[in-house]
A and B are shown apart, each in its own frame.
Chain A
């Protein structure tokens, strides 16, 4: 239970960064931290105490009951790819904003017209 609460704390750190920071780069990093918290939570759902990773190794007899659940890991792989695309899009938007306004401070980005 403690690890789930720690994951939630990490999510709160990301939300705190998005709400309070003014720098666009820090906002992007905070959104990444939020994504990592969710990925960690999903991977922890599939974890059993004392189990091994879900790969058969040559000359090492293991039974599938000893392995962790591989389905959340496959799900998280998809989530990581989507997060990569989202981050790339946010960075591209931040670069365009910097070209137009010459700043990353969101309190100075005020002219929404044109």
Chain B
């Protein structure tokens, strides 16, 4: 089977514009997680879908040069430690694990939820990178039909 790199020119041109909009929408969903529906998980999934869009349109060889997969893997692995660090900082300054230690702003402002927003960002990084790496690892398999040994 001929593995042509990516899809047609139309899909590639649209992807070149839309991927940044999808990434921006994911970041918006993560940052407004305490005000509106959404949050770290939903925004992380949207960020992973932006990368997945590029991988589907341009092929898996392109994404290896465009993104630093090793760095994504490092972010994915370290975000669990970051979550733990925020929890332990709450233990140090707030009294108990995951307690709030950042001052509240006024209600309905963007920065008004203390550590919840930080945790949303950490969860968004974890989910986005983890989900994209799962799909990328599954795309590495060559599913060409060949004769049984």
Report which A residues bind B (CB closer than 8 A): 53, 55-56, 58, 77, 81, 84, 88, 91-92, 95, 98-99, 101-102
Contacts and interface: CB of A to CB of B under 8 A. Distances in A.
Contacts, number: 27
10 contacts: A55-B35, A56-B107, A56-B108, A58-B108, A88-B134, A92-B138, A95-B143, A98-B143, A102-B145, A102-B148
Interface in B59-108: 107-108
A77 B41 contact: yes
Contacts of B141: 95, 99
Give the interface size bracket for B toward A.
Answer: 10 to 19
B41 to A, nearest CB: 6
Interface in B97-149: 107-108, 127, 131, 134, 137-138, 141, 143, 145-148
Interface SS of chain B? loop
Given A58-B108, A95-B143, A102-B148, A53 B134 contact: no
Interface SS of chain A? helix
Contacts of A95: 138, 141, 143
A58 B138 CA distance: 43
Interface of B: 35-37, 41, 107-108, 127, 131, 134, 137-138, 141, 143, 145-148
Contacts of B108: 56, 58
A93 to B, nearest CB: 11
A112 to B, nearest CB: 15
Given A58-B108, A95-B143, A101-B148, A53 B37 contact: yes
A101 B35 CA distance: 50
Contact of B37 (A55, A58, A88, A91): A55
B5 to A, nearest CB: 21
A77 B108 CA distance: 24
Contacts of A58: 108
A91 B139 CA distance: 11
B110 to A, nearest CB: 12
A81 B137 CA distance: 18
